Amino acid sequence: MQTWTKGALQGVALIVLLAVAGAGSALAGQRGSDTAHPSVPAVNDPWPEVNLNVVVLNKQGAPQAVDVTGFQLFEDKSERPLHFRATADSPVSIAFLIDTSGSMYQRRELHAAAIKEIVNSLPAGSEVMAILFADQAYIDLPFTPVSSIDYSFLDRLEARGGTTLYDTVIVAEKYFVAHARYARRAIVLFSDGGDNESKSRREDAIRSIEGPGAPTFYSFFIPDARTSITETGRETRAMEDFAKAGGGVALTPRQKDFAPAVTRLADMIRSQYVLHFTAADPTRDGKAHKLEVRLPVKDLQIHALPVYYAPAK
């Protein structure tokens, strides 16, 4: 895989990122064969094979260990046979989308601390990438093994300019699906949910995270005590919309609750399951298919993509 740093992308920014995402399959390279062994990377299976990341929480919102043989998956209300691709100790592919626009100024150090804690908690062999965005987006850290991460990209959380959130989500999702090595995968968005620069709509961004093999989408938003209740509510809903559509969880802690929220987020990412199934309809028609995951245990919260769209021709 070709890699870029911010310096190499300077002045080209989102235009280059869009081109890279569009050419993802050509740039992804050859992957090793897939196996259920937790230490072996999983390829991006060709359609109609689908990997579905699942997070199971108890009533208190803490990750819950379950017997994977109890999972049932229903696609368009019909049960599909399941295979289990990854366990809780297998590597994770994770991407951080970090809002560095002007509204993030008070949150920069907190975001940096959260990212370091999450990375330090990942299973051995995991890989991490980071995209920093304001009015433009940059791949500041291409997919890199956790053992080799250079945290200097966190020194560039400048917090200035506008926000191109929706465009960034779209191209990041394409890049991620094309280049991630592992079946267990997550995207974590650090932002306030605002956007004043994108050419895309929020609906376009949400649609982009609902594809086969998509990572679980988490959002992390620390409300600013100086903003109005109305504005905070609007920002919170925006971040919740992304997490719900992406089968993940939205965390909106106040600063005093920051540390336990980060620990909870890290635990959820580390505890994800992956269900593998074959789509009932292999047609490449871009149509939506509803998903429902069930377990024979009461009082559990099951988070997974509620709908996915088949690839178009």
pLDDT digits 0-9 by tens, 287-297: 999 999 999 99
Output the pTM of the full model.
0.86
Alpha carbon distance 35, 85 (integer Å): 7
CA–CA gap between residue 59 and residue 37 (Å, rounded) = 31
Number of H helices, E strands in the chain: 8, 14
> What CATH number has the domain bearing residue 96?
3.40.50.410
What pLDDT score was predicted for residue 84?
87
Instruction: Find the domain containing 131 and state its range.
Output: 1-313
Count of domains observed in the chain:
1
d(CA 54, CA 246): 11
Q: How many whole angstroms separate alpha carbon 127 and alpha carbon 143?
A: 6
Token code pair at residue 181:
């090595």
When pLDDT is cut at 50, 70 and 90, the band that residue 282 belongs to is very high
Mean pLDDT across 228-251: 88
Helices 108-121 and 258-270, interaxial angle, to 10°?
30
Decide if 54 contacts 71 (C-beta within 8 A): yes
What does the pLDDT look like over 120-131, one tens digit per residue?
999 999 999 999
Give the number of residues written for the chain: 313
In the structure encoding, which two tokens stand for residue 155, read together?
């020194």
